[in-house]
A and B are shown apart, each in its own frame.
Chain A
């Protein structure tokens, strides 16, 4: 008699890889063959995960159309099934997948639109956190600046892209065909901040220096180091703190 784990592994193989040879012998054959019965589950597996990707990637979905999206999603799902039942976290590498997916080679900006949508999805679902207030920031002054590390709000993402994905994303989701047709979708380096605000998720273009300053802080660089590298940008920091983009600070032990 097969063990429970043997059955579960064979079932996974049938569902993910559509290879039913391992599971079929464990299943009662009667009015429907085991393969037909397994197909019911494989269909649900594909449709529920395709739906998760559709929710996360609405602009990619509209750009390529339903039929193509389903096909691409199926290839992606089979190659990278989810690792967690928390499906809001599923699909992180869909942009990288599209970047090397031959059928969309003629849409070089598509992968960047997907990367932007992943960041938007992350900002939408990131944990809630209380912003750092001025008093707490003042208290942090007792920490030596070369050890002070600011903690950024989890609902902020910083990404640099090679194509104007933000403009494409906005036009597609607004159904603005006119903007879309006028849009120059050729390569142009982009520095974006994606954040959840009280009005929803906002996507802002930053200057490269301002983006690098925030990225340095996000990566846990000390306050002293960030200030030293980006002295002219320090006044912006007050704006970031006032906008609730930092939620705390810690002391880095050297």
Chain B
């Protein structure tokens, strides 16, 4: 599929940017295989999100992003901050994130509700937190520290998870809502993650979404996942390696009906397809966003 051309700025920035400097449209997660295509041909995309960790240091990657960000709004999505670390944040990593944020001037900065660091070792994955009062205090302290270091609001994303702790006392939807209420951070609602975790743990995905504080939702993520069969049982793995599945599109429609139109991102990180496939997924999200905006206008009239 060849990518559609992008002519003039995709959407006037101010048009419906009341909620955030990232436009209320469907963006695409930008990964290295599409760097050149995007920098050289400016394909149609409302905005891009990149992983903060991929642009630390100097050299070509960040130089290409310097070029791309002249034509598109950019959001920075971190994967290594470990907001759930009992021992606090890694000061060097905080400084590196701050440097990337200063250079890229992103519309949004986000991270995950998870931990990935303990005793000075980085564990290479977004690991689940026990949902306890202690963990809630830790996360809020770390989010506060990060927001102070950046002097701006960040968004935190609900994780997908493959286990639950015996002594968790707070449902995840209440936990993330409490973090937003206490720290005034925003929420990045990953609809696929809600679906994956709900399937893995027997939660009610619709109830999860309905429990989130509408005013705090500043972004939505959509992605594909894998259903892994082990001995006749199924566990869903959030591998970002395929198209968004139909039940997640249905859940996305529920989310938009509850939250109103919110900037939405298509993420794809393994087996990255041609850019046109990502545009195709974004176009479907865009149609859902347009329909929601239409409904909101009708409701207001």
Give the B-binding residues of A (Cβ under 8 A): 1-5, 7-9, 11-12, 15-16, 25-28, 31-32, 34, 36-38, 40-41, 44-45, 48-49, 81-88, 124-129, 154-155, 196, 200
Contact = CB atoms under 8 A, between A and B. Distances in A.
Interface string B80-92: 1110111100101
Given A83-B122, A85-B90, A11 B127 contact: yes
Contacts of B63: 128
Contact of A28 (B58, B129, B132, B166): B166
A66 B48 CA distance: 33
A179 B163 CA distance: 52
Given A4-B130, A12-B119, A84-B92, 10 more contacts: A3-B134, A4-B138, A5-B86, A15-B123, A27-B163, A32-B233, A45-B124, A48-B125, A81-B124, A84-B122
B93 interface: yes
B276 interface: no
Contact of B124 (A2, A34, A49): A49
B25 interface: no
B135 A4 contact: yes
Contacts of A34: 163
A86 B167 CA distance: 32
Where chain A touches its partner, the secondary structure class is: helix
27 contacts: A1-B167, A4-B129, A9-B118, A12-B118, A26-B130, A27-B163, A27-B165, A32-B233, A37-B163, A38-B163, A41-B127, A45-B123, A48-B124, A81-B122, A82-B121, A82-B122, A84-B90, A85-B53, A85-B117, A87-B124, A124-B60, A125-B56, A126-B59, A127-B57, A129-B58, A154-B58, A155-B58
Contacts of B93: 84-86
Contact of A83 (B82, B121, B138, B235): B121
A86 B163 contact: no
Given A84-B90, A85-B53, A126-B59, A44 B166 contact: no
Contacts of A37: 162-163, 235
B115 interface: yes
Nearest to A9: B118
B295 to A, nearest CB: 39
A128 B59 contact: yes
B140 interface: no
B82 A85 contact: yes
A44 B81 CA distance: 17
A82 B130 contact: no
B31 to A, nearest CB: 13
Nearest to B138: A4
Contacts of B115: 8
Interface in B96-123: 96, 115-123
Give the interface size bracket for B toward A. 35 or more
Q: Point out which of A3, A40, A82, A126 has the most chain B C-beta atoms below 10 A from its C-beta.
A: A40
B164 interface: yes
Interface of B: 53, 56-60, 62-63, 79-82, 84-87, 90, 92-93, 96, 115-125, 127, 129-130, 132, 134-135, 138, 162-167, 230, 233, 235, 237
* Complex A-B, nearest 9 residue pairs according to Cβ-Cβ distance, in ascending order: A85-B80, A128-B58, A37-B163, A5-B86, A125-B57, A4-B86, A8-B118, A40-B162, A44-B125
Contacts of A154: 58
B81 A85 contact: yes
Contacts of A41: 125, 127, 162
Contact of A5 (B57, B87, B164): B87
B271 to A, nearest CB: 13
A83 B163 contact: no
A27 B130 CA distance: 9
B245 to A, nearest CB: 19
Contact of A86 (B56, B59, B125, B164): B56
Given A12-B119, A27-B163, A126 B87 contact: no
Contact of B58 (A4, A5, A11, A125): A125
A97 B85 CA distance: 30
B121 A88 contact: no
Contacts of B130: 2, 4, 7, 26
B121 A16 contact: yes
A3 B85 CA distance: 12
B237 A40 contact: yes
B90 A8 contact: no
B123 A155 contact: no
Q: Point out which of B80, B121, B233 has the most chain A C-beta atoms below 10 A from its C-beta.
A: B121
Nearest to A122: B57
